Structure 1
Amino acid sequence: MNDERPADPFDELMRRSLREEADRIEPSDALPEIRVRAHAQRPSRRRPWLVTAGVAAVGTAAAISAFTVFNGSTPTANDGDAVAGPGTTATASGVPKTPPPTVMSAEPSPVPTDAVKTAAPTVHTQPEQTVRNALVPVYWLGTQIGAPKRQATRLYRTWTKVTGHPAEQAVRVMTTRQPEDPDYFSVWRGAAVNSVTRTDDAVTVDFKQLPKARLTADDARVATQQLVYTVQGALKDYQTPVQVTEGGRPVARLFGQVDATEPLGRAQAADVQALVWIDSPSEAQALEPRVTVQGVAAADEAVVNYEAVNLKTKQVQKSFAKTSEGQTFAPYSFQLKLSPGPWEISVYLVSAADGSITNTDSKSVLVK
């Protein structure tokens, strides 16, 4: 008995149509894209169960219908952490925004760690501001009278007007000019300054050529402070140390004694500075008969002595004045009435022990 039924033309047509439709479907391999996304994202630390659930959902969807899995559609925001990945924000189109690089990134930084550690810090070099007819201090060396062991070298201050870069011009005066006061001198003669620049940590004075003089340790220390005091005084910055270079290169020693490999700080005034100065009048200044003498002194009893001698008539005026404070550098001022002619004005300190002169400064002036 034959149980086969005649073929239904409609059923045969449907089967043929389904086979042809299935043959036209070319599913793409999405595995490489899935792997790239998985490596690009960090594993979820907050909700690990979502990853498992997402994978299970993908498998379930594949079992339900091949048309649904391989429909060529792009992921959307609704795909959740399994697609967008934790730590990112998905846009409305479903494409995750690229997070900024952080130390928490799962991927290593493209910049080698050693390169980051050895990168040189940014140094902000600032040239000096230009001034016009600015009054700046210039320091010189002078002999301290009455020093206990021998005549010691000390710093004496004068004032000069400069135009241009104040510290550079002040150093140029200190290294090239002869001080007006014959009691002062400089061992920096012969040096040639190149530039003065500033950073946050130091003021660099670069020389084309440094002085060749070799000094004793004490004199070299004071001579080095001559530069430091002049530069800092011109800049009105008494804290930032001074770095000395020659042709842009570090200098080992100054005057054969002072280590200059590191920036040089300002020494205590009592260690290097003369204990009495005359700031005004200046050397060889022409004056009216009524003269005001001003300066700075460190006097034990806040007392400075002075003497004015007419170099032509030998007329003498002597007395004393008070500083504003004792046992520290403090200003003093007094007035003289002088006859016309050349005068020498001296201000000095006297030892309380034996009455000898211990420190002095003097100026020769012409009274009109």
Structure 2
Amino acid sequence: MNDNQNDPFDELMRRSLHEEADRIEPSDALPEIRARAHAQRPAARRPWLLTAGLAAAGTAAAIGAFTMLNGSENTANDGDAVAGSGTTTTATGLPPSPTPSELTVSPEPSQAPTEVPSTAPSAKTAEPTDRGVPEPEVKSTVVPVYWLGQQVGAQKKSAARLYRTWAKVSGRPAEQAVRIMTTKQPNDPDYYSVWRGAAVNTVTRSNGIVTVDFKQLPKATLDADLARVATQQLVYTVQGALQDNKTPIQITEAGRSSGKLFGQINTGTPVSRAAAGEVQALVWIDSPSEDQMVAPKVTVQGVAAAFEATVNYEVTNLKTRETKKSFANTAEGQKFSPYAFQLTLTPGPWQVSVYLISGTDGSITDTDTKSIVVK
């Protein structure tokens, strides 16, 4: 936690995500929202106590038809959501919570600016290669890094969706973001990556294509659905770091096509960004981050595509088992939109769980969970 209110990085994050709510619209997700959710933790780390009684209580605020918008522009454009001018506000007008750690930076999810951070390029000049022009180097910037999270209640154990974290990097942003995605362990134990063993070489742009070249691609063979979402993990991460959700991604190994990625995905043709509603989790906690130390008054912020704009939450003290339950509202319903709520908690370890409730049968669907420590 950073208590220095004049820290330039805090100012960068306070100005982040200025227009995200207007730029993210998921596709038609009625069939999937009934089963879509976040990865379940081991029982020792997930004392949700989300019983049938809780689901029934949330149902009163959530039952009804859930219709998602559809369209070709229906993708989560968060690549330019890391800085810019303007005043950041939240869905409820609550103040932003402190900036988390640098590895998994969680800026406010409220509104996404359209400008990149003011970062000075290094003295090195990007030189063309046989695959295109590398991205320029920067001294410091914040990039999104996507991870997989298993769906709660899905019929297939391998069903997964994308969850976003943030990382502060220097050098070439997209290349560094891919390096984190393929070699680092996410702070949140609910998240994972199937890209272990991959070694990124370069990220270059040429003739309307972004080429991500690997020294070595992962060798794992996955089922078709998981392979598709895992490939989108790379696409979302690269396009987010490049602040460009339009240009397709060509995946190569040692400069050439390498057959079937994960045994399923043809690398001979570029891969475009899938609609957010098809691959992205429907609820996130952006702040606080996993294991963050916070003050007794903490603001929880995130993004959700929620039926009737309702996000339910449960907060549990992991020592005393004290539990608080309520709900908050997103700025808009049936589309990706920011939410925020404030908590006053006693000192100690707490777990914050946010979740959506099916408008059809009242069951709990999408979830995200963070463990925090109250000072």
Report the TM-score, using the length of structure 2 for normalisation.
0.64
Q: Which has the higher contact order (CA 8 A, sep 6+)?
A: 2
| 2:374 aligned partner, one-letter code | V
Candidates 274, 279, 289, aligned match of 2:281: 274
Aligned residue in 1 for 2:330 = 323
CA apart distance, 1:149? 6.2
1:251 aligns with 2:258: yes
1:309 aligns with 2:316: yes
CA apart distance, 1:133? 2.7
Aligned residue in 2 for 1:194 = 201
CA separation in 2, counterparts of 1:180 and 1:352? 32
CA apart distance, 1:354? 2.5
Per-residue CA distance 1:168-222 (angstroms, 9 max, x = gap): 0000000001111000110001100001111241111100000010000000000
Unpaired runs of 5+ residues, structure 2, are 1-128
Per-residue CA distance 1:98-146 (angstroms, 9 max, x = gap): xxxxxxxxxxxxxxxxxxxxxxxx9993211212231111000001113
CA separation in 1, counterparts of 2:226 and 2:177? 21
**Alignment check: 8 A CA contact 1:146 1:359 kept:** no
Q: Secondary structure at the match of 1:250?
A: coil
Structure whose residues are more often helix by fraction = 1
Unpaired runs of 5+ residues, structure 1, are 1-121
CA separation in 1, counterparts of 2:158 and 2:349? 28
Candidates 352, 359, 362, aligned match of 2:366: 359
| 1:194 aligned partner, one-letter code | N
CA apart distance, 1:324? 1.1
Q: Identity of aligned pairs, percent?
A: 68
Q: Secondary structure at the match of 1:354?
A: coil
CA separation in 2, counterparts of 1:124 and 1:274? 33
Residues 283 and 195 of structure 1, relative CA distance in 2, 3 Å threshold: same
| 1:312 aligned partner, one-letter code | K
**Alignment check: 8 A CA contact 2:292 2:372 kept:** yes
Aligned residue in 2 for 1:10 = none
Q: Secondary structure at the match of 1:161?
A: strand
Q: Secondary structure at the match of 1:188?
A: coil
**Alignment check: 8 A CA contact 1:284 1:365 kept:** yes
Between the two proteins, the alignment pairs up a number of residues equal to 247
The alignment's C-alpha RMSD in Å is 1.6
Q: Secondary structure at the match of 1:229?
A: helix
| 1:284 aligned partner, one-letter code | D
More off after superposition, 242-251 vs 220-229: 242-251
CA apart distance, 1:294? 1.0
**Alignment check: 8 A CA contact 1:156 1:184 kept:** yes
Aligned residue in 1 for 2:169 = 162
**Alignment check: 8 A CA contact 2:131 2:255 kept:** no
| 2:330 aligned partner, one-letter code | T
Residues 151 and 264 of structure 1, relative CA distance in 2, 3 Å threshold: closer
**Alignment check: 8 A CA contact 1:297 1:330 kept:** yes
CA separation in 2, counterparts of 1:350 and 1:187? 29
**Alignment check: 8 A CA contact 2:353 2:368 kept:** yes
**Alignment check: 8 A CA contact 1:350 1:358 kept:** yes
Aligned residue in 2 for 1:240 = 247
Aligned residue in 2 for 1:180 = 187
Aligned residue in 1 for 2:137 = 130
**Alignment check: 8 A CA contact 1:323 1:331 kept:** yes
- Larger-Rg structure: 1
CA separation in 1, counterparts of 2:365 and 2:252? 37
CA apart distance, 1:151? 6.5
Candidates 210, 213, 220, aligned match of 2:227: 220
Aligned residue in 1 for 2:62 = none
Q: Secondary structure at the match of 1:195?
A: strand
CA separation in 2, counterparts of 1:184 and 1:357? 19
**Alignment check: 8 A CA contact 1:241 1:264 kept:** yes
CA separation in 2, counterparts of 1:214 and 1:302? 38
